[in-house]
């Protein structure tokens, strides 16, 4: 086990070495999508050059596709801590949730209720609202405290009751960075027999996901947010899945992994995602202390090393932001609570539009986003739907020097009239 080595970690990401007109790239756009690990690219090339064929035939390339498809599903199960038959690869999180909202709402009755959250990305809100409208089901809202940037857990008892069919919430916010106590929300939903759905798109890049510990029925994430390709990954608890009628064409298979795959899957995205998991395992081997040889143990160790590094970045950034009074941070700012957030920071800068700030960054080849990132309810609650925020987010390939560079740019912005 080595101490963290920025240069070695960064060398694992080919895109980090690129320059434009001599300028290096500073990627602070991780919450929108991370850069891709070299191991992901290698696996995608394997899928598209060495074994490009559909699955299920008798010749070499198709047989390789079948074999590697299973490898990718097993690795995804290791990533989530579930069984291979509980894993579904799809186009992205949003389309997977639309697909499942259709199946899950088939037996909802008028007068039933669902609980959605005001902190979620709309991918875990909109599909459920549409299904509720179609079935005459009432939507109830789990609110966010705008002072603490946490869910109003104290309202769970009154929100969730015998008519609740579904409870959906996020694991980490793509806007605030807040990490939620999902176990508490899921337990409240399961206590009344509701289906529980967790959006882990923004937590999965930063710490290990354990669906058994969370105890949810469905959990979604997007591999392009954790060093892999554009794809979606959904966990569905086996006993719930057995009760669902798959949304499939007649000749298609009724068994996993095809049960919820409408058409030919992206084999290259599955293998690319496997490559992203290999990257996390490699991080564990190099900079962590795996408790065993399994891919999960190695990934968990990789995350432990990455989280320690990201915490340093977050603390440095939080300290720097606190010293710039013109900046208003929407999210946890107390360094003693850094463990309650991921390194995703949304802010406004007094006297400057978010677009103007983002432009200053872009001119220096520093990639940060402005907008409200489909956190539609939350942006409304905070009065930021029109104005938006500047969002700066880090992944384990970022460095303390990069954080300092970003702070220097922000100090320059506030000095400019
Ligand atoms: C928290 C969260 N959920 C869902 C999504 C949507 O994911 P996808 O683009 O895979 O549909 C995003 C995308 O930014 C997100 O940040």
Closest atom of ligand 1 to CA, residue 232: 10
Q: At a CB cut-off of 8 Å and minimum separation 6, what does 125 contact?
A: 116, 117, 168, 376, 377
Whether pLDDT at 417 is above 70:
yes
Domain-wise residue ranges, the chain? 6-35+294-415, 41-276
Token couple for 192:
């009344």
The model's pLDDT over 83-124, given as tens digits with 9 standing for 90+, comes to: 999 999 999 999 999 999 999 999 999 999 999 999 999 999
115 in Cβ contact with 142 (< 8 Å):
yes
Return the pLDDT at 2.
83
Whether pLDDT at 306 is above 70:
yes
* Lowest pLDDT segment from 171-175, 228-232, 253-257, 345-349: 253-257
41-276 belongs to which CATH class? alpha beta
Query: What CATH number was assigned to the domain covering residues 6-35+294-415?
Result: 3.90.1150.10
The mean pLDDT of 368-385, rounded to a whole number, is: 98
- Which residue from 93, 101, 232 has its CB within 8 A of the most atoms of ligand 1, so it is best to mutate? 93
The model's pLDDT over 200-256, given as tens digits with 9 standing for 90+, comes to: 999 999 999 999 999 999 999 999 999 999 999 999 999 999 999 999 999 999 999
Give me the percent of the chain exceeding a pLDDT of 90: 98
Return the pLDDT at 75.
98
The mean pLDDT of 376-385, rounded to a whole number, is: 98
Q: pLDDT band for position 1 (50/70/90)?
A: low
* Fold: same for 6-35+294-415 and 41-276: no
Alpha-carbon distance 238 to 387, whole Å? 43
Average confidence score pLDDT of the chain: 97
Ligand 1 contact, 92 CB (< 6 A): yes
The mean pLDDT of 383-408, rounded to a whole number, is: 98
Return the pLDDT at 398.
98
Q: Can you say how many angstroms the Cα of residue 340 is from the centroid of all Cα atoms in its chain?
A: 16
DSSP state of 178: B
Token couple for 120:
């979620």
Closest atom of ligand 1 to CA, residue 230: 10
**Cα Rg for the chain, rounded, in angstroms?**
22
Q: Which residue blocks in 53-124 are alpha helix, DSSP H?
A: 60-80, 93-104
């Amino acid at each position: 086990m080595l101490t963290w080595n920025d240069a070695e970690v960064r060398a694992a990401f080919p895109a980090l070495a690129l320059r434009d007109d001599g300028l290096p790239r500073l990627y602070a756009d991780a919450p929108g999508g991370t850069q891709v690990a070299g191991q992901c690219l290698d696996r995608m090339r394997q899928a598209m050059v060495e074994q490009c064929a559909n699955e299920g035939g008798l010749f070499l390339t198709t047989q390789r596709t079948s074999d590697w498809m299973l490898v990718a599903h097993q690795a995804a199960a290791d990533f989530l801590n579930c069984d291979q038959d509980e894993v579904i690869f799809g186009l992205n999180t949003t389309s997977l949730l639309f697909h499942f909202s259709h199946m899950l709402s088939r037996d909802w009755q008028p007068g039933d209720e669902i609980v959605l959250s005001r902190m979620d990305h709309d991918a875990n809100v909109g599909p459920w609202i549409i299904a509720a409208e179609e079935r005459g089901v009432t939507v109830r809202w789990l609110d966010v405290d705008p002072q603490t940037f946490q869910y109003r857990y104290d309202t769970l008892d009154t929100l969730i009751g015998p008519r609740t069919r579904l409870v959906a919430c996020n694991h980490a916010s793509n806007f605030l960075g807040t990490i939620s106590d999902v176990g508490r929300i899921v337990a409240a939903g399961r206590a009344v027999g509701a289906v529980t759905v967790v959006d882990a798109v923004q937590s999965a890049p930063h710490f290990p996901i354990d669906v058994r510990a969370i105890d949810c029925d469905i959990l979604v994430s997007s591999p392009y947010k954790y060093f892999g390709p554009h794809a979606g990954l959904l966990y569905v608890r086996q006993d719930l899945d057995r009760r669902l009628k798959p949304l499939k064409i007649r000749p298609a298979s009724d068994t996993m992994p095809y049960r919820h795959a409408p058409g030919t899957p992206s084999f290259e995205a599955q293998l690319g995602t496997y490559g992203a998991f290999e990257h996390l395992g490699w991080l564990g081997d190099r900079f962590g202390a795996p408790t065993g040889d399994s891919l999960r143990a190695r990934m968990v160790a990789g995350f432990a090393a990455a989280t320690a590094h990201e915490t340093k970045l977050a603390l440095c950034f939080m300290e720097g932001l606190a010293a710039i009074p013109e900046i208003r941070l929407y999210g946890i700012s107390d360094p003693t609570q850094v463990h309650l957030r991921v390194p995703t920071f949304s802010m406004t800068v007094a006297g400057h539009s978010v677009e103007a700030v983002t432009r200053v960054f872009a001119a220096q080849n520093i990639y940060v986003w402005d907008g409200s990132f489909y956190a539609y309810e939350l942006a409304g609650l905070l009065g930021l739907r029109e104005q938006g925020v500047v969002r700066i987010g880090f992944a384990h390939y970022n460095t303390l020097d990069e954080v300092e560079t970003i702070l220097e740019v922000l100090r320059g912005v506030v000095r400019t009239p």
